[in-house]
Amino acid sequence: MQTIDILWVTFCAGLVFMMQVGFLCLETGFTRSKNNVNVAVKNLTDFCVSSLIFWAVGFGLMFGTSHDGWFGASGFIFDHTDGQWSYATFFIFQLMFCGAAVTIISGAVAERMKLSSYVIMTVLISGLIYPIGGHWSWATLFGGETNGFLADLGFYDFAGSTVVHSVGGWASLAVLLIIGPRLGRFDEDPEVGAFIPSNMPLAGVGTLFLFIGWLGFNGGSTLAWNDQVGLILVNTILAAATGAVSAGVLAFGVTNRLNAGQFMNGCLGGLVAVTAGANLFSTPLAILVGFVGGMVVVSTEELLEYFRIDDAVGAVPVHLGAGIWGTLAVGLYGDLELIGTGLNRMEQIAVQILGIAVYAAWAFGVTFVVLLMINQVHKLRVTREEEIVGLNISEHGLVTEEQALLTDMVSKKIL
């Protein structure tokens, strides 16, 4: 890397780090007050834990010397004392991607998963699922000599619609199927009360932080300050805008009102969708990809409702649904010369579908099997009583002002 490239990628890593703030605000805003401290703690915890695991194990598995295109076999527990700035910059940038993949899950499983179980899941994703899956597509990003096996076949994912977002989405779906819905989510249990988001304006702030961070997510994936950056940033912004508009219009057409949560998630769906080919699409095509991405989010939310799968913040629709669409869109609309795989249109579509299927089997399959076994000896979910009182109290011993007020009113027989 040249000095200007190092500066650009370092700056973008900082922007991607801001996505952690975005996820925290979005998820605490979408969830109930009695659980929002726990959600915030999990977001901070998963980044701290995944940073250590990715440094010790994940980075080597993802970018170490390739073992037949399946996983890296060097670079574990590395000491950067005498290293180059370019290597450190690349590690930091990729660490932010790992953190994003992991924290996707925190919102989906909010309000019912033990903190200890969440830490176990974080280790699994950051130390095994994400880095090995990432090696299959991105093994040569920093000078590796051997392609991952999917890249060898021609699979293309510029900045991670599948490698990052769908992996997080598949893992989220696996955990959700194991732990089940929140109490009262589908049967209106009167002991639990209404599912009222604690702070939707804060969720809006989180959406904007994610939007800003995505400029670094996609813009920095060039790993250089070059002529592609301008197009990538324009495509990213316009895809997000059209994703929000399409989700908002679709929701309005069904309910005759603008659903704030779906509007926000539609924006994120547009961002996820364009991520796989932000450097390949013309601007009109990026707008189309974002537009469909927003609609996919709303449609996937309805699908989860139909199957009674409880995703607290819409992580699966955003990151899995839109991620699949964006990956497929590379084959449908991506500039084949820029992709550079030598495949024709139908062959590129076929290999994109193959990649989607491989990551589904890996991220969903392994996560489901491993966590299902762990659940037999260490329950992933809090008890019914702990869930009713709220994870702020049961996991951290913290009482919100509203809970303290209600307790005081009951003790004084005002209620």
- Give the per-residue pLDDT at 76: 94
- Coil, helix or strand at residue 113: strand
pLDDT at 166 over 70: yes
What is the architecture, at CATH level 2, of domain 3-408? Orthogonal Bundle (1.10)
Compute the distance between CA of residue 127 and CA of residue 102 in angstroms, rounded to an integer.
Answer: 10
Question: pLDDT tens for residues 314-331?
Answer: 999 999 999 999 999 999
Phi and psi at residue 381, in whole multiples of 5°?
Answer: -105, 150
Question: Is 281 within 8 Å of 274 (Cβ atoms)?
Answer: yes
Compute the distance between CA of residue 278 and CA of residue 289 in angstroms, rounded to an integer.
Answer: 10
Q: Quote the pTM value.
A: 0.94
Compute the distance between CA of residue 180 and CA of residue 342 in angstroms, rounded to an integer.
Answer: 45
Question: Is 362 within 8 Å of 133 (Cβ atoms)?
Answer: yes
- Give the per-residue pLDDT at 89: 94
Write the CB contacts of 98 (distance below 8 Å, at least 6 apart in sequence).
Answer: 50, 54, 58, 126, 130, 131
Nearest Cα neighbor of 28 from 107, 93, 92, 96 is 107
Q: What's the full length of the chain, in residues?
A: 415
Question: pLDDT tens for residues 287-310?
Answer: 999 999 999 999 999 999 999 999
Give the pLDDT band of residue 190 (cuts 50, 70, 90). very low
Compute the distance between CA of residue 137 and CA of residue 363 in angstroms, rounded to an integer.
Answer: 14
Question: Is 292 within 8 Å of 328 (Cβ atoms)?
Answer: no
Question: pLDDT tens for residues 129-164?
Answer: 999 999 999 999 988 888 999 999 999 999 999 999
Mean pLDDT of the chain: 94
Compute the distance between CA of residue 107 and CA of residue 121 in angstroms, rounded to an integer.
Answer: 13
pLDDT at 204 over 90: yes
How many other C-beta atoms lie within 10 A of the C-beta of residue 171?
A: 32
Question: Is 135 within 8 Å of 61 (Cβ atoms)?
Answer: yes
How many other C-beta atoms lie within 10 A of the C-beta of residue 236?
A: 25
Compute the distance between CA of residue 395 and CA of residue 400 in angstroms, rounded to an integer.
Answer: 13
Question: Is 120 within 8 Å of 42 (Cβ atoms)?
Answer: no
- Provide the residue ranges of all domains of the chain, joining segments of one domain with +: 3-408
The mean pLDDT of 228-241, rounded to a whole number, is 98
CA-CA-CA-CA torsion for 381, 383, 388, 390, nearest 10 degrees? -60
Nearest Cα neighbor of 357 from 63, 134, 150 is 150
C-alpha distances out from residue 358 to 137, 149, 364, Å = 11, 11, 10
pLDDT at 401 over 80: no
Give the pLDDT band of residue 414 (cuts 50, 70, 90). low
- Coil, helix or strand at residue 66: strand
Question: Is 253 within 8 Å of 133 (Cβ atoms)?
Answer: no
Eight-class DSSP state of 34:
G
